[in-house]
A = this chain, B = another copy of it.
């Protein structure tokens, strides 16, 4: 991980997104132990407090849970992971739609294009 631009989007937000992607994509598998806060912080070249803040938010969202003395783990709850996938997908669809609307496609055209895209990727 390497982090750029101090301003604009807060570091901890970027870290949240990155860790979320790692969990969603299986880089960190369900039930797997995460590296320690300090290691993750070093890996990301970030202060441990900043990493802690990000992880606390992930915990609040139910993506990870912590056991005080032994470490932090990815949730094993399949529903949470399924929801995560669905939310991410919706977010991507949303961004796509926004972009397409901006260049003048109508809502119907977009819906149609999405359907034919779905068939394309099988």
Could you tell me which A residues sit within 8 Å of B by CB distance? 4-8, 21, 24-26, 82, 85-86, 88-90, 92-97, 99-100, 102-105, 107, 109-118, 120-122
Chain A contact residues: over half helix, strand or loop, or mixed?
helix
Sampled A-B contacts (15; CB under 8 Å) = A5-B6, A24-B102, A24-B104, A25-B103, A82-B109, A85-B104, A85-B109, A93-B96, A93-B113, A93-B114, A94-B117, A95-B96, A107-B122, A114-B115, A114-B118
A89 contacts B110, CB within 8 Å?
yes
- A94 contacts across to B, CB distance below 8 A: 117
Q: A21-B103, A93-B96, A103-B24 are in contact. Are A116 and B8 (CB under 8 A)?
A: no
